[in-house]
Chain A
Amino acid sequence: MSAINPPASHESAWRGLTVARLKRAVRLGLRSLWQHRLRSLLTVLGIVFGVCSVIAMLAIGEGASYEAQEQIKSLGSQNIILRSVKPPDEQKISNQGSQSYVLNYGITYADAERIQATIPNVTVILPARNIREYAWNISKRVDCEIVGTVPWYPTMRNQRVAQGRFFTDKDMATRTSVCVLGAEMVPLLFPLESPLGKHVRVGGDYYQVIGVMEAHGHEAKTDETTETKDKSAAFRMFVPLETIKMRYGEVLMRRRSGSFEAERVELHELTVKVASLETVTGVADAIKTVLERNHKKKDYQIDVPLEMLRRAERTKQIFNIVLGSIAAISLLVGGIGIMNIMLASVTERTREIGIRRALGARRRDIIIQFLVETVMLSGIGGIMGVMLGVTIPLIVSHTAGMKTIITLWSPLLAFTISALVGVVFGIYPAVRAANMDPVEALRHE
């Protein structure tokens, strides 16, 4: 009876934290959370919604920015795009005036030559004339934009031909009546058959289909500023520039609310390819000076996809910062909620703490017990938030047709932070529980 082995303590500070003990602590914690499941659920809602909204918003934002960037990239990041724009004061006159007259504006062939001749580092110039017309296949018709352009258009604009071929220099020189259709209009004009070799009628002229472009998602948003632009002009049909010039001349007639209106626009679009990414901004400035010198009115617009890309990236950064703040606040609020409940739980379980202490639990055993419980609470909240946050973007892209991208790091980060919130906000209640005097705690109630 007198042979007593001395109590084994002090061996190492965390002697008690064996895997087996931790497993038991987790089981004990789960049971205690399950016992108050409604309370646990309500406690954890703050974390759930915090995590869920962060993941969902990130996914939607990421998707939107990806789409925008793809569109901008499809314009070519080494390109500078000039567009003809009807000057604002002219627009007013033409809207009021009932008389017919010819309006001259826009980018000219002379501009193109000047840019080519005076600015170094400019490799190719891609002119385009856009005409809004109906394209017909017997009785089917599509309201589309007929783009008169040059054979190297697809290469410069990062667009690919899906079937057949694009027109060549020879088509251009001989002004053949051929066309390449945008993928989007094929099912409308040729729902059953392959369009290759068939003819499309525009006005009184027939064009033979020699190719179909690759589907391209939505058209760039920047196109909306072009004067000929409507939503339906997502349908594009490409024809050799020389053919268009021959067919339509330089003056475009258009009927508008009872009056005729004529416009003379030489080029609707001009794409300038710059030799290297570094010189894009400089060349854009040079082009601006050249155009300013030669145009009295601002009847053109200069789009620099590279700058748009950078702006989009900056916007995304700001979006992420805002999102980060919202996430931080909501997790903070969630954490405070958890701490509040854990403090109440500690008070409620004072007696239990006293019993455990009397039966040999050290302070750190009590700390571990409550900390494990808090971390599980916030961790479970985090998991629920991740599941909800991953589901919502799926629903959004399914119902609203928006692109959403769930990056791998966002659920991981959100979950880690929510578990950390459990540690941070669990420490105080746990320490308070551990520091109770066992005698007092046993006397509680």
Chain B
Amino acid sequence: MSAPIVKFKDVTKTYQMGPVTVEALRGVSFAIEPGEYISIMGSSGCGKSTLLNLLGCLDRPTTGHYFLGGQDVSQMDDDALSAVRGARLGFIFQSYNLIQQLSVVENIEVPLYYQDWPEAASREVAHKLAARVGLAQRLDHKPFELSGGQQQRVAIARALVNDPLVILADEPTGNLDSASGVEILKIFDELHAQGKTLIIVTHDPTVGKRARRTLRLCDGLIESDVRH
């Protein structure tokens, strides 16, 4: 068995809201091997988004350690975390989060822009990925000219552009009708088949079932960890 690509060790996250302390995560430990396809499920307010923000290096755990690709990122400074996000992580959001004034290709290129890629090279990669998610004909369209499903496919291409260790998705089908949702899930299956590591937060049991492993959270703790 190869080394885990993601390893959480006794991670807690507490939010201080004036006098009230909210314990969003209360000691979470788990490990993810390369190439796994995992869904994180649980009732509302159980800490899924909090966990995903930590996984995505958008936030730091209050206590505990997070190893990403063998490197402890739990207490890195802001610049280092930015570099980790740009180089090793891919994000897919529920509301697509494309930059409105940029075209499809330019949106896909954004992570490479912050990696200082030469323009020609990044353009080439972006074209390839746009073609891969079926948007070869829409390269110069703006996000508002695309359907939700198409926008989410742009977001997937953007999440792949920096060849990340882990792809993180927060309710990727939440804003889509079932047909577009199925299309997105099909792409995820393909990515999994290619050996990408995928972590998907979802409420939707049908989405959760497509993953090979489900982490179920309850009240800031892991309730169950099932492989299927």
Closest A residue, CB atoms, query B3: A2
* A21-B116 in contact (CB<8A): yes
- For residue A7, which residues in chain B have a CB less than 8 angstroms away from its CB? 80, 83-84, 86-88
Complex: A10 Cα to B85 Cα, angstroms: 15
- For residue B56, which residues in chain A have a CB less than 8 angstroms away from its CB? 358
Task: Pick out which of these stretches binds chain A: B38-46, B93-101, B126-134, B178-186.
Answer: B93-101
Given A2-B69, A2-B70, A4-B88, check contact A362 B79 (CB 8 Å).
yes
Report which residue of B53, B85, B119 has the largest number of chain A beta carbons within 10 angstroms of its beta carbon. B85
Complex: A365 Cα to B99 Cα, angstroms: 16
- For residue B118, which residues in chain A have a CB less than 8 angstroms away from its CB? 20
Identify which of A1, A10, A20, A32 contacts B79 (C-beta below 8 A).
Answer: A10
Given A1-B34, A9-B80, A438-B58, check contact A356 B71 (CB 8 Å).
no
- For residue B113, which residues in chain A have a CB less than 8 angstroms away from its CB? 21, 24
Identify which of B5, B69, B114, B165 contacts A360 (C-beta below 8 A).
Answer: B114
Query: Among residues 74 to 91 in chain B, which have CB atoms less than 8 Å away from a CB atom of chain A?
Result: 78-80, 82-88, 91
- Tell me how far the C-beta of B99 lies from the nearest C-beta in chain A, rounded to whole angstroms: 5
Q: Is B174 in contact with chain A by the CB < 8 A criterion?
A: no
Q: Is A439 in contact with chain B by the CB < 8 A criterion?
A: yes
Q: Is A31 in contact with chain B by the CB < 8 A criterion?
A: yes
- For residue A354, which residues in chain B have a CB less than 8 angstroms away from its CB? 97
* B116-A16 in contact (CB<8A): yes
Given A1-B35, A360-B86, check contact A355 B79 (CB 8 Å).
no
* B116-A355 in contact (CB<8A): no
Q: Is A257 in contact with chain B by the CB < 8 A criterion?
A: no
- Tell me how far the C-beta of B58 lies from the nearest C-beta in chain A, rounded to whole angstroms: 5
Closest B residue, CB atoms, query A445: B95
* A359-B79 in contact (CB<8A): no
Complex: A9 Cα to B83 Cα, angstroms: 6
Query: Among residues 346 to 367 in chain A, which have CB atoms less than 8 Å away from a CB atom of chain B?
Result: 351-352, 354-365
Task: State the main secondary structure of chain B at its contact with A.
Answer: loop
* A439-B97 in contact (CB<8A): no
- For residue A203, which residues in chain B have a CB less than 8 angstroms away from its CB? none
Given A1-B2, A4-B88, check contact A35 B78 (CB 8 Å).
no
Report which residue of A18, A35, A354, A439 has the largest number of chain B beta carbons within 10 angstroms of its beta carbon. A439
Interface size of A in residues (CB-CB distance below 8 Å)? 33
- For residue A18, which residues in chain B have a CB less than 8 angstroms away from its CB? 116
Query: Among residues 330 to 389 in chain A, which have CB atoms less than 8 Å away from a CB atom of chain B?
Result: 351-352, 354-365
- Tell me how far the C-beta of A257 lies from the nearest C-beta in chain B, rounded to whole angstroms: 80
Cβ proximity bits A9-48 to B, threshold 8 Å, 1 near / 0 not: 1100000101011001000000110010000000000000
* A359-B86 in contact (CB<8A): yes
Q: Is A262 in contact with chain B by the CB < 8 A criterion?
A: no
* B114-A4 in contact (CB<8A): no
Query: Among residues 262 to 298 in chain A, which have CB atoms less than 8 Å away from a CB atom of chain B?
Result: none
- For residue A438, which residues in chain B have a CB less than 8 angstroms away from its CB? 58
Complex: A110 Cα to B195 Cα, angstroms: 116
* B97-A355 in contact (CB<8A): yes
Q: Is A442 in contact with chain B by the CB < 8 A criterion?
A: yes
- For residue B58, which residues in chain A have a CB less than 8 angstroms away from its CB? 357-358, 438-439, 442
- Tell me how far the C-beta of B21 lies from the nearest C-beta in chain A, rounded to whole angstroms: 18
Cβ proximity bits A114-155 to B, threshold 8 Å, 1 near / 0 not: 000000000000000000000000000000000000000000
Complex: A1 Cα to B119 Cα, angstroms: 26
* B5-A2 in contact (CB<8A): yes
Q: Is A246 in contact with chain B by the CB < 8 A criterion?
A: no
* A363-B195 in contact (CB<8A): no
- Tell me how far the C-beta of A323 lies from the nearest C-beta in chain B, rounded to whole angstroms: 41
Closest B residue, CB atoms, query A355: B97
Complex: A8 Cα to B82 Cα, angstroms: 11
- Tell me how far the C-beta of A440 lies from the nearest C-beta in chain B, rounded to whole angstroms: 10
Q: Is B153 in contact with chain A by the CB < 8 A criterion?
A: no
* A356-B110 in contact (CB<8A): yes
* B86-A442 in contact (CB<8A): no
- For residue B91, which residues in chain A have a CB less than 8 angstroms away from its CB? 358-359
Identify which of B34, B69, B101 contacts A35 (C-beta below 8 A).
Answer: B101
Closest A residue, CB atoms, query B161: A359
Cβ proximity bits B36-79 to A, threshold 8 Å, 1 near / 0 not: 00000000000000000100101100000000011100000011
- Tell me how far the C-beta of A113 lies from the nearest C-beta in chain B, rounded to whole angstroms: 88
Q: Is A401 in contact with chain B by the CB < 8 A criterion?
A: no
Complex: A355 Cα to B154 Cα, angstroms: 14
Q: Which of B's residues lie within 8 Å of A, judged by CB?
A: 2-3, 5, 34-35, 53, 56, 58-59, 69-71, 78-80, 82-88, 91, 93, 97-101, 110-111, 113-116, 118-119, 158, 162, 165, 195
**Contact sample, A vs B, 11 pairs, CB 8 Å cutoff:** A10-B79, A10-B80, A351-B97, A354-B97, A355-B98, A360-B87, A360-B111, A360-B114, A360-B162, A364-B79, A439-B58
In the complex, besides A4-B71, A8-B87, 11 extra interface pairs with C-beta distance below 8 angstroms are A7-B87, A10-B79, A16-B114, A20-B116, A352-B100, A355-B97, A362-B79, A363-B78, A363-B82, A364-B79, A439-B58
| Pairs of residues from A and B, 6 with the lowest C-beta to C-beta distance, nearest first | A360-B86, A7-B83, A9-B83, A360-B114, A4-B69, A362-B82
